[in-house]
Amino acid sequence: MNCVTRAKSAVAWVFCIACICYGVNGQSALKAYCFEFTWLGPTFTNETIVNNATCEEIPNSPSVCQDPLVYTYDGSPPNLTNMWVDSELRTRTTCELSKGEVCAKWTFEYNNFLENVTYLCTKVTVDSKWPMTSGCKVQNRGGRRIEVCACETQPGTSGSLVFPCNAGPPSLHQAAPLLLLAVVGVLTLLTR
């Protein structure tokens, strides 16, 4: 290895380490993130026209919705690993977890089919009484199943960004009675 390559690789190393420790676009390995977006469900594909739509533009204003709105080419749930690996997508579809908040995931199902899923940083209150910080609750209503899960991503210690805990397919297993969920969210946008 000559001097120039060595110098270049030293620079590359420093750059890589900087990327790893500070992430890109201002995300830091020392902080905790959650996914934050709504996947519109299997009825939305690349054939659907959803030009830069936002939650506010959805008919009947869904009670749980978080911009950006995301859909996929074939209507399957988005691959969160791929979204996380792509730094631009990652910054658009994640939020920084603040104290007192959790990474939440709302899953709507009808007759065992996924209808849509919303991910966000928020506070979840059970029965208007208790803060929910972990686990899942399910509400069944007329063939419809609504599941809410909460978790807290632990800030990184290893020097790399920590994959948000509210990822993963819906668990839809535990059943517990439930009335009630508050959502706090802000709105922006993205398509696809």
Ligand X SMILES: *[C@@H]1O[C@H](CO)[C@@H](O)[C@H](O)[C@H]1NC(C)=O
Tell me which residues touch ligand X (CB under 6 A). Answer: 38, 40, 46-47, 51-52, 58, 62, 65, 73-74, 79, 81-82, 108, 115-116
Query: What is the nearest approach in angstroms of ligand X to the Cβ of residue 44?
Result: 9
- Alpha-carbon dihedral 52, 62, 82, 24, rounded to 10 degrees: 70
Peptide bond into 68 cis (omega under 30): yes
| Closer of 79 and 154 to ligand X (Cβ) | 79
User: In 123-183, at which residue ranges do the beta strands (DSSP E only) sit?
Assistant: 125-126, 130-131, 135-141, 144-151
| Phi-psi category of residue 138: left, alpha or beta, with phi > 0 → left and psi -120 to 50 → alpha | beta
The closest residue (CB) to ligand X is 62
Query: What is the nearest approach in angstroms of ligand X to the Cβ of residue 191?
Result: 7
| Closer of 65 and 103 to ligand X (Cβ) | 65
| CA distance to 125, 166, 187, per residue, from 134 (Å) | 11, 10, 25
| Closer of 22 and 163 to ligand X (Cβ) | 163
| Closer of 116 and 153 to ligand X (Cβ) | 116
Query: What is the nearest approach in angstroms of ligand X to the Cβ of residue 49?
Result: 9
In total, the chain counts a number of residues equal to 192
Query: What is the nearest approach in angstroms of ligand X to the Cβ of residue 79?
Result: 4
| Rounded Cα gap, residues 84 and 93, in angstroms | 8
CA–centroid distance for 38 within its chain: 8
| Closer of 65 and 102 to ligand X (Cβ) | 65
Query: What is the nearest approach in angstroms of ligand X to the Cβ of residue 66?
Result: 8
